[in-house]
Structure 1
Amino acid sequence: MSVAERILDERPRVSGAGDARALIENVLDALSALAHLVGEETELVRVGRLPEAMTREPRKAELAGTYMRGVEQVKLNAVALARFAPDQVKRLKEAHHAFQNLIETNQLVLATARAVSESVIRDLAADANKPMRANGYGPAATVGAGVFARPNSGPLVVSRRL
Structure 2
Amino acid sequence: MAETSRPAPVRVADAGSAERLVAETLSVMRELEALLGRESDHIRVGRLGDGLAEAPQKTALAGAYLQGLQAVKANAVALARFAPEGVAALREAHGRFTDAVSANQAVLATARAISEGLLRNLSTELTRSAEPKGYGTGYGGRPAPSPYGRSRSAPLVLSRSL
d(CA) in 2 for partners of 1:11, 1:65: 15
- Deviation readout 1:86-127 (Å, 9 max, x if unpaired): 111011011111111111111111111011111111111111
Overall identity of the aligned pairs, in % = 43
TM-score (norm 1): 0.78
Runs of 4+ in 1 over 6 A off after TM superposition: none
Secondary structure at the aligned position of 1:129 is classed as helix
d(CA) in 1 for partners of 2:79, 2:158: 54
- Deviation readout 1:27-66 (Å, 9 max, x if unpaired): 0001111111111111111111111112111000001111
Secondary structure at the aligned position of 2:12 is classed as coil
d(CA) in 2 for partners of 1:17, 1:54: 39
Structure 1: which 5+ runs fail to align?
Answer: 1-8, 142-155
Structure 2: which 5+ runs fail to align?
Answer: 1-6, 142-155
What letter corresponds to residue 52 of structure 2 in structure 1? M
Report how far residue 15 of structure 1 moved.
1.3
Decide which of 83, 87, 90 is 1:89's aligned counterpart: 87
- RMSD over equivalenced CA pairs, Å: 2.2
2:139 aligned with 1:139: yes
Count how many residue pairs are aligned between Structure 1 and Structure 2.
140
| Structural mapping, 1:1-162, within 5 Å | 9-130=7-128, 131-134=131-134, 139=139, 158-162=158-162
Secondary structure at the aligned position of 1:91 is classed as helix
